Structure 1
Amino acid sequence: MNKSKLKVSDNDIVVPGELLAQGMNYLPSHGTYRLKENILSSKLGLVRIDGKVIKLIPLSGKYLPKKGDVIIGKIKDINFSGWRVETNSAYVAMLSMKDASSDYIPKGADLTKYFEVGDFILTKITNVTSQNLIDLSMKGPGLKKLNSGRIVIIDPTKVPRIIGKRGSMVSMIKNSTKCNIIVGQNGVIWIKGEPEDEYIASEAIKIIEKESHVSGLTNRINEFIKSEKVK
């Protein structure tokens, strides 16, 4: 019998059918399966190894972060050195004090004066480490806290369809609803306008996400917004 051997590490990203381990000493769990003496992945996911048990955290519908991406995050926690940020991904994101503001933030400062738990921010990814940690920055044009408005979360793979060719789709929604719309590359979208217009814009975005494969979608969305506006 072949000696048991682990072929991946904790936090590795794997694709369906990828070999995770050989031998009978390891046990398959969520998102993995055994084929003879091998354990394989059944989906795109993030590897989690707990002793001899191998499982996957699914990444379909989740964002895979890249350095340079501009995303919308939600402040999840505050500690002595900065803020932990939710990014619609399986990764942990941190915004440090030095990257949170152009102003100097002294040690011991009340960090809630800058960002509180629950705040949404438009931020930029400056680094993604091999341990799947994300470093964020608020230093850059347009990066800011997003006050009020409405948040819509979509499958990140549908972001290009929401934006459209040369920004045509999102521009049409903005112009038709008079809303300010920011599309994060992580699939989190911020909409701000009159409440009824925010609702129409968010519904239009959900239709695009659902029907992204349909031809003539721009006209369909245009007609939808017009019909909603006259109600």
Structure 2
Amino acid sequence: MILVKDKDIVVPGEILAKNDYYPGRGTFKENNKICSSHVGLVSIRNKQISVIPLVSKYIPKRGDVVIGEITDIRFSMWGLDINSPYAGFLPASEVFGKEKRGLENIFNIGDVLFLKVVDVDEVKKVKLGLKGRGLGKFKGGVLVYITPSKVPRLIGKRGSMINMIKEKTRCDIVVGQNGVVWVKGDPEMEKIARKVILMIDREAHTSGLTDRVRDTLIELIKSGKGNEKIKG
């Protein structure tokens, strides 16, 4: 049973649904009830309920590059979660050049893509595209979610911070402007990369962060602590 509507604003602990629904990001399950973890906007995709935090919402802009997960397949488009109050859509014409049937044969629900924001209309419908260098479907890897406004700190001046993480962990890392980060490498190195990415998200406002991140990377890699519980 659903107790809220898509785009409703909810508060921590508020009951969103019971029984037949699944908890997504920003929610937790208690007995048979799905509750909100924080203040945010409800996002309902099929039978999954998520809550997008208002304090860290991503507002799409034309030209942004983002990482999105396919949540819906329709006759001529895919629907995507782009870590925003506003869902994105990828028209079939952006993939085929003209619309065709059988979209599930190309991308399916749960697939993760690197895309470009092609247009945002007056009602915040976000049109996405795959035409551009490096855009497309990711294979494997893990996703890490950070505050979108802290993306520049994760990247660093001229890419210094993100390149250091890539070099130390030997992971492939792609950062979306929507605060979604894709990481792929050795499983232990993925965990270490995730730890320091979340560390940067927590401590972005502090001085001396680059040195602390470097020291943390060296220590974690040396001691093999990628399996420790991740905070944040």
TM range, smaller chain = 0.7 to 0.9
Look up the SS of the partner of 2:181 in the other structure.
strand
Cα gap change, 1:30 to 1:146, in 2 (>3 Å): closer
- Kindly indicate whether residue 41 of structure 2 is the aligned counterpart of residue 64 of structure 1: no
- In structure 1, C-alpha distance between the alignment counterparts of 2:218 and 2:110, rounded to whole Å: 33
Contact 2:93 2:99 in 1 (8 A): no
Instruction: Give the structure with higher Rg (CA).
Output: 1
Q: Which residue of 2 aligns with 1:24?
A: none
Structure 1: 5+ residue runs without aligned partners? 1-10, 12-28, 32-44, 47-56
Identity %: 46
**Aligned mate of 2:127, from 125, 131, 135:** 135
**For residues 121 and 76 of structure 2, what CA distance do their matches in structure 1 show?**
18
Please tell me the residue identity of whatever aligns with 1:127: D
Q: How does 1:69-218 map to 2 (within 5 A)?
A: 69-99=64-94, 101=95, 103-104=96-97, 107-108=100-101, 110-218=102-210
Normalising by structure 1, report the TM-score: 0.73
> Aligned-residue CA RMSD in angstroms?
2.1
1:223 deviates by 0.6
After superposition, the Cα gap between the structure-2 partners of 1:129 and 1:199, relative to the gap in structure 1 and judged at 3 Å, is same
Deviation at 1:151, TM superposition (A): 0.3
TM-superposed CA distance for 1:105, in Å, is 5.4
Partners of 1:30 and 1:69 lie apart in 2 by 28
Unaligned runs of 5+ in 2: 1-6, 12-39, 42-51, 224-232
1:116 alignment partner, SS class: coil
Count of paired positions? 179
| Aligned residue in 2 for 1:8 | none
Shift of 1:113: 1.7
**Secondary structure at 1:168 match in 2:** helix
CA distance in 2, matches of 1:65, 1:199: 29
Aligned residue identity for 1:175: E
**4+ runs of 1 displaced by more than 3 Å?**
103-106
1-structure distance, mates of 2:97, 2:149? 37
TM-score (norm 2): 0.73
